[in-house]
Amino acid sequence: MGLLEDELHSGRRTLADLDTEDTWLAFLRFGRRLFDVPDTADADGLLFQYGTYSFSGPPTFALDLTRQFEISDSSGDHDHYVVLPGQG
């Protein structure tokens, strides 16, 4: 199980029983976890995006919560990001 899933299950309820506040608080706890990352502005970030979409049916509100880590090359320059997505 992943670290975010650990936070989601911390209240000992099933994912189907979680409401918006439970999910948001779990994401904030996950965001407070410290990782061994370089001390640069983009090394560790919490991101979100939201909107109403109708990809396959009626318009539905969607929220995407993401944590991303910057990976640098051997000279310390940006190479890519590793993204840990979670959707709600």
pTM of the predicted model, to two decimals? 0.68
pLDDT tens for residues 68-79?
A: 999 989 998 899
Tell me the CA end-to-end span of the chain in Å, nearest whole number: 18
Q: What is the pLDDT of residue 85?
A: 63
- Overall average pLDDT of the 51-77 stretch: 90
Residues 52 and 33: their CA atoms lie apart, in Å, by 30
**Nearest CA among 71, 88, 41, 55 for reference residue 80:** 71
Name the strand (E) or helix (H) holding 69: strand 60-72
Please tell me which residue, 57 or 63, carries the higher pLDDT value.
57
